Amino acid sequence: MSPSSTPGLSRLKKNHKLSLAGVAAVGVAALSFSLVPGPASAKAEVAEVAAAPAAAWSGYQSAELQAGIAGQKSAFEVKAAAETKAKAAAAAKVKAAAKAKAAAAAKAEAAAAAEAKAQVAAKERLVVKTVASRAAARTPVYANNLDGWIREALDIMKKHDIPGTYEGIHRNIMRESSGNPNAINDWDINARNGVPSIGLLQVIKPTFDAYHIPGTKKSQWDPVANIVAACNYAADRYGSMDNVDSAY
């Protein structure tokens, strides 16, 4: 048989090529080409040579690759921690901003409430002042003389439904005291009984006390109180001071 037709030799050349490739991958040059193995030994040789790169890769994986993976893991953890910290800082910033906004809103609301309260108080003061001013404007000012005393007495009498006119009051005052609020009768029967007639309309104490109108001074000597009490008595006794033309 010629070498080219020999099956074993053909397989040997192919196996030798595989062996050379495996040796080149792992750096092994110790295989010999002098022996021509049979089919079984050729398969074993191929398996052995094929296993060499795997063994070398396994060694690389168990050392350098593991170190690389560990490094990548460490870098990932650092990055994850940085991202977590950044997220926490952003959340804290958002929370602080929300808190500041809420505080500002509360402050603005308190200021608005205080302003509204101040405005209400100012309006109330203005109303009180206006009412007082109007009341003062409506309150007449009476002269401190006979004319003023009669006019003030007439306003009080009107509020208490006591009849009487300026003319009737003035006429009786001029007859009884000539318009002197300090006039006193110390010679008639009343004076002898210890209750002299006093004032503009010469009223005795028991009559003044019985017909005194609240809001006026409790004194016979006060001209306005004297007129009002006397007119109240005259209204009860004669219907009105206008009807009195003599001692009463």
Q: Contact, 37 vs 68, CB < 8 A?
A: no
Q: Is 107 within the bounds of a domain?
A: no
The CATH number of whichever domain residue 224 belongs to comes to: 1.10.530.10
* 68 and 153 belong to one structural domain: no
Q: If you write DSSP's letter for every residue of 15-41 in order, what string do you get?
A: HHHHHHHHHHHHT-----SS----HHH
Tell me how crowded residue 163 is: count the other CB atoms within 10 A of its CB.
16
pLDDT at 216: 97
d(CA 100, CA 5) in angstroms, rounded, equals: 95
Q: Is 128 within the bounds of a domain?
A: no
pLDDT at 173: 98
- The residue among 67, 84, 101 that closes a domain is 84
The residue behind tokens 């009984």 is: 193
- The residue among 50, 84, 118 that closes a domain is 84
pLDDT at 27: 45
For residues 7, 10, 13 and 18, what is the CA-based torsion angle, rounded to 10 degrees? Answer: -80
* 80 and 159 belong to one structural domain: no
Q: Is 113 within the bounds of a domain?
A: no
Query: Looking at the 3D structure of the chain, how many domains does it have?
Result: 2
Q: Is 184 within the bounds of a domain?
A: yes
Reduce the secondary structure of 83-131 to three states and give it as a string.
HHHHHHHHHHHHHHHHHHHHHHHHHHHHHHHHHHHHHHHHHHHHHHHHH
- The residue among 32, 64, 84 that closes a domain is 84
Q: Is 175 within the bounds of a domain?
A: yes
pLDDT at 192: 94
Residue 32: give the domain boundaries: 3-84
Q: Is 202 within the bounds of a domain?
A: yes
* 73 and 150 belong to one structural domain: no
pLDDT at 25: 43
Q: Is 50 within the bounds of a domain?
A: yes
pTM above 0.85, yes or no: no
Block means of pLDDT (10 residues each) for the chain, length 248 residues?
Answer: 44 44 43 46 55 50 68 78 89 92 92 91 87 74 97 97 98 98 95 96 97 96 98 97 93
Q: Is 110 within the bounds of a domain?
A: no
